[in-house]
């Protein structure tokens, strides 16, 4: 992702003073969101990542951080210069969180808290106020476990605790603005936005709390009918949710691929209708999905004939 690789972004990540001149402390916050509910998680269903089923954290958390800064100013009795982020700038969020004592960076590259798991958002407040630092989290509790590495359908989690974003389902369904590589489409399964697999298999998430109610599930699982959403209907339905990040054409692209992977014949009419969509990307992925379903239908009939 070029916005992370840019030279200016690297310099800002290395020096907080370039983000907030006079910065003396960075307050790192973790806000739990509800873990996957199990609804819409079947192999023949379409699903979206748990974090995206409620309100957009980009809208919720900045308001809270602003209120927290106001509280700190009241306690300090003086105005304080500050800047805050929540996945909105080139900040090494997980590294800062580990240094602030919030957990360790696991093999799946997620920050994991030993009593909270990994279903939480990170946010940071840069302050020109000196605060006593918390001790860093220095132990690693992944041990010999490799569940996340084994479970990843696209093999994007590498043994050295790095992640090949070009193969990550979350990247492919959210950040990628072009066509999903053909060789990876079949590995995406039913995921129409994001992915929770490496967190769902993590043993530490058995401790995950219920999560902040602001992020309670309010969206139904994706459905074939989503392919009929007009731009206006898409904006109305997903307003103030993370799904707007993929934009209509990206989301419909994802839904088409997910439908092709489920092999549901009942989705063929909406997929065929999507061949007339104004977006070439939607048309291309709908055609791919139709071919996948047709192939599965023929294979099923062939198996029946052989029997």
End position of a domain, from candidates 81, 102, 127: 127
The answer to whether residue 10 scores a pLDDT higher than 50 is yes
Residue 155 inside a domain? The answer is no
Q: What is the mean pLDDT of residues 257-281?
A: 96
**Adjacent-strand bridge partners of 124:** 28, 85
End position of a domain, from candidates 92, 127, 162: 127
Catalytic residue among 44, 59, 87, 140, which?
Answer: 87
Greater confidence, 305 or 132?
132
- Report the pLDDT value the prediction gives residue 299, as an integer from 0 to 100: 79
CA separation, residue 12 to residues 85, 97, 175 (Å): 13, 17, 22
pLDDT tens sequence across 178-203: 999 999 999 999 999 999 999 999 99
Domain count across the chain: 2
3-state secondary structure of 106: coil
pTM metric for this prediction: 0.91
Q: What is the mean pLDDT of residues 6-14?
A: 69
Residue 73 inside a domain? The answer is yes
3-state secondary structure of 153: coil
DSSP E strand boundaries for the chain: 25-32, 47-48, 82-85, 104-105, 111-112, 120-127, 191-193
Q: What is the CATH number of the domain that holds 279?
A: 1.25.10.10
Residue 173 inside a domain? The answer is no
CA separation, residue 219 to residues 48, 56, 173 (Å): 9, 12, 17
DSSP assignment letter at 291 = H
Q: What is the 3-state secondary structure (H, E, C) of 7-23?
A: HHHHHHHHCHHHCCCCC
Q: What is the mean pLDDT of residues 126-142?
A: 96
Q: What are the contacts of 175-181 at 24+ separation with CB within 8 A?
A: 175/1, 176/250, 177/250, 178/281, 179/253, 179/281, 179/284, 179/285, 180/253, 180/254, 180/257, 180/285
Q: How far apart are the first and last CA of the chain?
A: 50
Residue 156 inside a domain? The answer is no
φ, ψ (nearest 5 deg) of residue 138: -105, -10
Quickly state the pLDDT bin for 304 (edges 50, 70, 90). low
- Tokens matching residue 125: 């407040």
Residue 261 inside a domain? The answer is yes
3-state secondary structure of 211: coil
End position of a domain, from candidates 75, 100, 127: 127
CA separation, residue 267 to residues 21, 205, 237, 292 (Å): 55, 34, 21, 12
pLDDT tens sequence across 69-121: 999 999 999 999 999 999 888 788 999 999 999 999 999 999 999 999 999 99
The answer to whether residue 40 scores a pLDDT higher than 50 is no
Residue 305 inside a domain? The answer is no
User: Whole domain around residue 105: which residue ranges?
Assistant: 16-127
pLDDT tens sequence across 63-73: 999 999 999 99
Q: Does 216 participate in catalysis according to the annotation?
A: no
């Amino acid at each position: 992702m070029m916005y992370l690789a840019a030279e200016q972004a690297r310099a800002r990540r290395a020096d907080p003073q370039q983000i907030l001149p006079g910065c003396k402390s960075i307050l790192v916050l973790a806000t739990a969101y509800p873990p996957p509910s199990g609804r819409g998680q079947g192999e023949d269903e379409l699903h979206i990542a748990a974090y995206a089923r409620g309100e957009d954290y980009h809208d919720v958390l900045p308001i809270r951080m602003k209120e927290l800064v106001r509280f700190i100013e009241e306690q300090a009795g003086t105005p304080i210069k500050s800047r805050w982020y929540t996945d909105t700038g080139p900040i090494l969020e997980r590294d800062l969180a580990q240094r602030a004592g919030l957990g360790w960076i696991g093999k799946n590259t997620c920050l994991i808290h030993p009593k909270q798991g990994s279903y939480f958002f990170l946010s940071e407040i840069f302050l020109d106020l000196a605060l006593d630092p918390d001790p860093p989290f220095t132990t690693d509790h992944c041990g010999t476990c490799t569940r996340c590495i084994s479970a990843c359908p696209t093999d994007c989690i590498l043994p050295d605790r790095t992640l090949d974003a070009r193969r990550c389902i979350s990247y492919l369904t959210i950040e990628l603005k072009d066509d999903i590589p053909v060789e990876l489409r079949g590995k995406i399964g039913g995921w129409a936005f994001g992915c929770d697999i490496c967190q769902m298999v993590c043993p530490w998430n058995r401790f995950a709390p219920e999560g902040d109610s602001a992020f309670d599930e309010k969206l139904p699982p994706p459905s074939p009918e989503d392919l009929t959403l007009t731009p206006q209907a898409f904006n109305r339905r997903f307003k103030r949710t993370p799904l707007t990040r993929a934009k209509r054409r990206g989301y419909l692209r994802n839904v088409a691929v997910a439908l092709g992977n489920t092999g549901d014949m009942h989705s063929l009419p909406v997929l065929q209708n999507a061949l007339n969509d104004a977006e070439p990307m939607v048309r291309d992925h709908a055609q791919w999905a139709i071919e996948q379903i047709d192939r599965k239908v023929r294979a099923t009939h062939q198996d029946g004939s052989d029997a």
